[in-house]
Amino acid sequence: MTQTQVSIRAQTLIGAGVVLLALGLAAGAVSISSAAGYGGVGPNFLPWLVAVALFVCGCFMVWEARTGGFRALDEPAGAVQGHWAGFAWVSAGLLSNAALITTIGFILSCTLCFVLAVQGLRGAEGRADRRPVAWLKDAAIGLAISAPVFWMFTKFLAINLPGLTSSGWL
């Protein structure tokens, strides 16, 4: 089997994976209520929209792969192998956010997620900075991002997110 055949097979599998992802999203959208809400659309509108868009893109990717492969691809950039330490930092951030959001609230758990993810991404670029001042700066930026998001959702959109206190501000 030539390199081109392997590449076309891999590209076809990627397109088929996108189609399967779209079908899975559509299957999940079936279980969401379709009762119309604000603006006449229900909560299942966006999942259906994304499922249809993914399905169309996936079918196009399969067609593109089967008719000669993805065209005009640039040479891969970046490292030859993945940066596993960076992956671990980002994963730890996401998992800690999921585990702690109901305990320490949205703002603090998202801030922690941001700090850990930034450490991983910087490390992957070869710019790891483990000094306490860098951690504090990252925490301040994470707080400056997550607090307004929390307040926007809870105060202006009336969507309940887990808070640290019952006041609705933390």
Q: Answer yes or no: is 79 within a domain.
A: no
CA atoms of 58 and 64, how far apart (whole Å): 10
Q: Does residue 93 share a domain with residue 41?
A: no
Q: Does residue 122 share a domain with residue 88?
A: yes
Q: Does residue 11 share a domain with residue 59?
A: yes
Q: Give the mean pLDDT of the chain.
A: 87
CA atoms of 156 and 162, how far apart (whole Å): 15
Instruction: Answer whether residue 20 shows pLDDT above 60.
Output: yes
Q: Does residue 36 share a domain with residue 94?
A: no
Instruction: Answer whether residue 168 shows pLDDT above 60.
Output: no
Q: Does residue 89 share a domain with residue 34?
A: no
Number of domain units in the chain? 2
Q: Does residue 139 share a domain with residue 91?
A: yes
Nearest alpha-carbon partner for 55 in 27, 8, 15: 15
Query: pLDDT tens across 85-142, in order?
Result: 999 999 999 999 999 999 999 999 999 999 999 999 999 888 888 899 999 999 999 9
Q: Does residue 92 share a domain with residue 58?
A: no
Contact 110, 146 (CB under 8 A): yes
CA atoms of 144 and 122, how far apart (whole Å): 19
* End-of-domain residue from the set 25, 40, 66: 66
Looking at residue 116, its pLDDT comes to 97
Q: What is the mean pLDDT of residues 23-40?
A: 80
Q: Which two tokens stand for residue 144?
A: 């400056």
Does residue 150 come out as left (phi exceeding 0), alpha (psi in the -120 to 50 range) or beta?
Answer: alpha
Tell me the residue type at 119: Q
Place of tokens 């909560």: 43
- pTM for this entry: 0.61
CA atoms of 54 and 163, how far apart (whole Å): 34
Q: Answer yes or no: is 91 within a domain.
A: yes
Q: Answer yes or no: is 38 within a domain.
A: yes
Q: Answer yes or no: is 27 within a domain.
A: yes
Looking at residue 38, its pLDDT comes to 63
127 vs 157, more confident: 127
Looking at residue 169, its pLDDT comes to 58
Its domain, for residue 124, covers: 84-156
